[in-house]
Structure 1
Amino acid sequence: MFANFNMGEGGQNNMFVPFMQGMMQSLLSKEVLYPSLKDLVERYPTWLAENKGKIEQAEYERFEKQQKLMEEVCAELEPEQESDPEDVKRKRFEVVLNLMQQMQDLGQPPKDLVGDIGAPPPGFAPPAAQDGGQCAIM
Structure 2
Amino acid sequence: METRSRVLFVRAGLPEPALNVEIHDPDGGWLATSDLVWREGRVVGEYQGAHHFGDYGRGDDDIARRRLIEGSGWLFVDFTKGDYYARPRRLALLRRLAGHLDCALDPAGLAAIEDSLELPGPPVRPCGA
TM-score, with length taken from structure 1:
0.27
Which protein is bigger by CA-based radius of gyration? 1
Q: Larger strand proportion, structure 1 or 2? A: 2
Task: Judging by fraction of residues, say which structure has more helix.
Answer: 1
